[in-house]
């Protein structure tokens, strides 16, 4: 049986996001069984991730957002590592937002190609968002993603903080998570996020950074 991966997805009308989802769905499907996660009612990426994991029967839950490309060797290494421990494994050490030029080159060449205008911002280490690899039983044990979060944004920080507090140090696989370009779009509530800041003891500056909606 092939490893399953979850892609949380609902079409909100963004042509860029739709193209990324369709392309990455087909790309990941060459090696993995792709499960689409979506929740009922108003879109919640937390709920969509949880719904997707509920539909899987793989020992290890793998969640990759619909606009994130991660090389397959990194995903497989993260899966092997997650089988041996209880904690959260991130399938990349670095996270970078590709420019539109670099994203278009990815589509043309069917692989990541370095271009002069590669990054929207310098890639960062130990980023909390984008992708998650963890034993399914442990995922359910800690409650998965908090569905009080509406839309998407700081639920990444909250889940990362939850895993670190409940399961210990988060592990990172060497390599890059490539976030494909799309215009900024925020579908969330500032008031809702502010309410949840104290619950997870997150720094407000970090929450506001996520609320940019990239």
DSSP string, 93-158: SEEEEB-HHHHHHHHHHTS----SS-BSS--EES-SSSEEEEEHHHHHHTTSS-TT--BSSTHHHH
10-residue averages of pLDDT along the chain (214 residues) = 96 92 97 97 93 98 97 98 96 97 96 94 92 98 90 82 90 97 70 64 45 36
Domain that residue 109 falls in: 4-210
Average pLDDT for the chain: 88
Q: What is the CATH number of the domain that holds 83?
A: 3.90.550.10
Cα(first)–Cα(last) distance of the chain, in Å? 35
Domain count, the chain: 1
Cα–Cα nearest to 174, from 32, 69, 71, 38: 71
Report how far residue 69's alpha carbon sits from residue 20's, in angstroms, rounded to the nearest whole number. Answer: 9
Q: What is the pLDDT of residues 98-111, one digit of tens each?
A: 999 999 999 999 99
Q: What is the pLDDT of residues 118-158, one digit of tens each?
A: 999 999 999 989 999 999 999 999 999 988 887 777 788 88
Residue 158 CA, distance from chain mean position: 13
């Amino acid at each position: 049986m092939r490893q399953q991966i979850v892609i949380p997805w609902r079409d909100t009308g963004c042509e860029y996001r739709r193209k990324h989802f369709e392309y990455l769905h087909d790309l990941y499907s060459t090696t993995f069984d792709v499960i689409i996660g979506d929740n009922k009612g108003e879109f919640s990426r937390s709920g969509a991730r949880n719904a997707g994991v509920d539909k899987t029967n793989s020992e290890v839950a793998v969640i990759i957002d619909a606009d994130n490309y991660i090389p397959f060797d990194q995903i497989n290494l993260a899966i092997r590592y997650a089988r041996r421990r209880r904690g959260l494994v991130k399938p990349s050490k670095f996270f970078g937002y590709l420019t539109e030029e670099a994203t278009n080159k990815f589509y043309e060449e069917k692989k990541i190609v370095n271009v002069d205008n590669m990054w929207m911002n310098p890639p960062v280490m130990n980023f909390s968002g984008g992708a998650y690899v963890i034993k399914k039983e442990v995922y359910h044990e800690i409650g998965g993603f908090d569905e009080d979060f509406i839309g998407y944004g700081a639920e990444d920080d909250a889940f990362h903080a939850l895993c670190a507090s409940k399961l210990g140090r988060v592990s990172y696989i060497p390599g890059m998570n490539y976030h494909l370009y799309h215009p900024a779009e925020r579908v969330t509530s500032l008031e809702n996020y502010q309410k949840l800041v104290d619950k997870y003891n997150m720094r407000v500056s970090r929450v506001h950074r996520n609320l940019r909606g990239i």
